[in-house]
Amino acid sequence: MMYDVQLPGFDLLLIECVVCGARPDPDHTYSVADPPHWSRLWETRDKDAITRYLVKDGDRFQHGTRRDGPCPAIPLPGPALYKLSGQEAIDLAAELKALLCQD
């Protein structure tokens, strides 16, 4: 499965969810700076900053369905899915959900 593409001559990435296959609209792609930016943000475990990023990301990347249910990689943003396997995405989604549900 192809899940990330860097187009020659363009500083952008089209990231495909490794679980549901959803991709951002070509007009709303990610820059090559987005995956490292997300990695740094995730390392901080700053719930408010991560929530703001997820809300913004929802405007360009919407997950689809898998086995007639919502994609279990939700609420991962596209950059978090860069070069992951399906199980890694599901595990990371569970970890992110646990962080966001903390008081």
Tens of each residue's pLDDT in the chain, 103 residues: 344 556 566 667 888 899 999 988 878 888 888 999 999 999 999 999 999 999 999 888 889 998 899 999 988 999 999 889 999 999 999 999 999 998 7
Q: What is the pLDDT of residue 11?
A: 66
Q: What is the pLDDT of residue 31?
A: 84
- Give the span between the Cα atoms of 14 and 31, in whole angstroms: 9
Backbone dihedral region for residue 6 (phi beyond 0: left; psi -120 to 50: alpha; all else: beta): beta
Q: What is the pLDDT of residue 95?
A: 95
Q: What is the pTM of this model?
A: 0.81
